[in-house]
């Protein structure tokens, strides 16, 4: 790996690197994070990628690449068959640039990872993204953390639309349906990050229905949304049927006892989920009791995060009783609740026992 991050290389420096990449036959990873690279620099890199046959990973995080630069890079992806990972988070890519990247993925048969987290003005249209996921057969990891997804189809057709005008919108129920439909069709995506997208309970119901049918997604990150009990109930129903998902992140979603009950009921039947994140919610004793009941039967879950909820000694007692018999939980975070030291100590002892058994 060759790293030039934080060196103020700029467009001129990238031009020289681009010339070198045309001839290089050994470099596989190149990091150019935070180098004040703009659209001109992206053009040089794009031109080089048309000829380079060895580079597999390119880091361009924290530069000044906009829609024009994204187009140059996208054009190169139509010809380059070796690059598999492209990291473009924290640039200035807007709606039009996102569309170009999506269009390139329709034709590229090798790309596996695309990172567009925290681009300053990007609002990726749910309809367009869904279309990409349906046509592309290789993309496995898609990062959309802190991007606000909505329907921008009209904006993409009209380049004069202000990109900033779309910043921090929320998913609309009807538009989110298009992304859900993509998952129902079993796209090859195995990891999906949708942190802080203001996904609400109604939309989460649609996600739950899609998860029940999807057979490819293994990791789903929905932390810091607004899923609440109604969404957790549908996700719980999906977990009864889903046989592929291993990681579900639902932290900070206003999930209470009702939602925890549904998830607990699902865990009694699910045989694939290994990690469940429920910290920073509103789960109390009743919810903890249902989760504890699930742990007495579930032999697959290894990691459960319940920190910063509203669990007291009654709920902690149920969790402790379950851990007497459960030998698979090796990570259980439960701090920040209303649990006495004695109850916490008992839970930690059982978890530590499981860790020792696993390592022995």
More confident residue, 270 or 187: 270
Q: Which residues of 184-213 are buried (b: 16+ CB within 10 A; e: fewer)?
A: eeebebbbbbbbbbbbbbebbbbbbbbbbe
133, pLDDT greater than 60: yes
157-188: pLDDT as tens digits: 222 222 222 223 344 444 445 555 555 554 56
- pLDDT given for residue 162 in this prediction: 22
Mean pLDDT of 315-321: 98
CA angle centred on 106, ends 58 and 22, rounded to 5°? 35
Alpha carbon of 17 to those of 23, 45, 77, 140, 165: distances in Å? 10, 8, 18, 29, 36
Q: 338: which 2 tokens?
A: 């209303």
E strand intervals along 211-358: 219-221, 247-249, 275-277, 303-305, 331-333
Q: Would you list the DSSP string of 132-185?
A: HHHH-SS--EEE-TT---B--HHHHH-TTS-SGGGTT----HHHHHHHHHHHHT
Query: Is the pLDDT score of 66 beyond 90?
Result: yes
72-128 pLDDT per residue, tens? 999 999 999 999 999 999 999 887 888 888 888 888 888 888 888 765 544 554 456
Q: How confident is the model over 134-149, as pLDDT tens digits? A: 667 787 777 765 444 4
pLDDT at 303: 98
Report the pLDDT averaged over residues 244-256.
95
User: What does the pLDDT read at residue 180?
Assistant: 56
Q: pLDDT-based confidence at 69, cuts 50/70/90?
A: very high
Q: In the chain, pLDDT over 90 holds for what percent of residues? A: 55
Confidence (pLDDT) at 278: 98
CA dihedral sign, ordered 160, 164, 165, 169: positive
- CA 324 to chain CA centroid, Å, is 34
Q: Are 211 and 235 in contact (CB under 8 A)?
A: yes
Q: Which CATH architecture has domain 31-36+53-63+81-359?
A: Alpha-Beta Horseshoe (3.80)
Q: Is 312:287 a contact under the CB 8 Å cutoff?
A: no
Q: Tell me, what's the pLDDT at 131?
A: 63
């Amino acid at each position: 790996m060759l790293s030039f991050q934080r060196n103020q290389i700029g467009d001129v420096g990238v031009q020289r690197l681009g010339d070198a990449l045309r001839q290089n036959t050994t470099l596989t990873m190149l990091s150019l994070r935070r180098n004040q690279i703009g659209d001109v620099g992206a053009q040089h890199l794009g031109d080089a990628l048309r000829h380079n046959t060895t580079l597999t990973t390119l880091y361009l995080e924290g530069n000044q690449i906009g829609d024009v630069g994204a187009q140059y890079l996208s054009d190169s992806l139509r010809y380059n068959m070796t690059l598999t990972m492209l990291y473009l988070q924290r640039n200035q890519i807007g709606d039009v640039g996102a569309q170009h990247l999506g269009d390139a993925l329709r034709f590229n048969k090798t790309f596996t990872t695309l990172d567009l987290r925290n681009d300053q003005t990007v609002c990726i249209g749910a309809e367009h993204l869904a279309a990409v996921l349906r046509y592309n057969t290789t993309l496995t990891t898609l990062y959309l953390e802190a991007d606000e997804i909505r329907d921008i189809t009209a904006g993409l057709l009209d380049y004069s639309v202000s990109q900033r005008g779309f910043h921090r919108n929320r998913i609309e129920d009807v538009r989110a349906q298009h992304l859900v439909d993509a998952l129902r069709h079993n796209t090859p995506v195995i990891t999906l990050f949708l942190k802080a997208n203001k996904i609400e309970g109604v939309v989460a119901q649609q996600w739950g229905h899609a998860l029940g049918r999807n057979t490819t997604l293994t990791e789903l990150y929905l932390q810091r949304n607004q899923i609440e009990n109604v969404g957790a109930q549908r996700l719980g129903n999906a977990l009864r049927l889903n046989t592929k998902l291993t990681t579900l992140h639902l932290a900070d979603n206003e999930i209470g006892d009702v939602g925890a009950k549904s998830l607990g009921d699902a865990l009694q039947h699910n045989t694939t989920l290994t990690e469940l994140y429920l910290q920073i919610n509103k789960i109390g004793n009743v919810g903890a009791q249902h989760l504890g009941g699930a742990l007495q039967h579930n032999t697959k879950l290894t990691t459960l995060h319940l920190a910063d909820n509203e669990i007291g000694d009654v709920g902690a007692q149920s969790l402790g009783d379950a851990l007497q018999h459960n030998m698979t939980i090796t990570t259980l975070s439960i701090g920040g609740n209303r649990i006495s030291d004695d109850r916490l100590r008992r839970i930690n002892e059982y978890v530590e026992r499981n860790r020792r058994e696993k390592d022995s």
